[in-house]
Structure 1
């Protein structure tokens, strides 16, 4: 899975500037500021510069936030799973996803078999 697969195409483009306030990042990522503050605590990759009690995010922070948003909202990861994925442990999480998908497929096939038997 590529990084671009994790980011929604519906989000506004990121302007070319060095720093963004929390309000600007919230608009660019379509999130609430309190969500960004919470994610800062959960994901070590988000590390805005803090000056005079204000947060200033750089472009890389915005990209990481969008990636996290894609993992959580679009791909269905938990915070723990997204954290693992960002830390490079995606193989572990992907294995669990494949096992779940396989179990679901088996269940659906068994249901189809029962349905076909009842039609005879």
Structure 2
């Protein structure tokens, strides 16, 4: 019997669509940010975890919203360190989960 992974994973096209960027941008960022290392299937297919998506969101924010260069964004991520970055990603995912849970409760109240 196959076991499902503990957390969701997304193929590169799915991840790119969720993040609002093109797949080639994800591939490029992999070469520029050592922290961004998606899992690979036996056939070489990239699979992005929720944590990887959070990291990409952070990279996107640093580049597009803060206007940092790739080098500047890389340095900022290195300064944060993995534990702080993971903590931020975890907090963001919890906030999204809580937001979604709240909207589901609202939907149920409206339907009742």
TM-score, normalised to structure 1's length?
0.59
- For structure 2, the 5+ residue unaligned runs are 1-6, 81-112
Higher helix share: 2
Q: Distance in 2 between matches of 1:59 and 1:22?
A: 13
Equivalent residue, structure 2, for 1:107: none
Q: Distance in 1 between matches of 2:35 and 2:77?
A: 8
Per the alignment, in what secondary structure is the counterpart of residue 71 of structure 2?
Answer: helix
Count of residues in correspondence between the two structures:
74
- For structure 1, the 5+ residue unaligned runs are 1-16, 90-120
The structure whose RCO (Cα within 8 Å, separation 6+) is larger is: 1
Q: Distance in 1 between matches of 2:13 and 2:20?
A: 10
Equivalent residue, structure 1, for 2:35: 45
Structure 1 or 2, whichever has the larger Rg, is 1
TM-score, normalised to structure 2's length?
0.63
After TM superposition, where is structure 1 displaced by more than 3 Å over at least 4 residues in a row? none
Residue 36 (str. 1) matches residue 26 (str. 2): yes
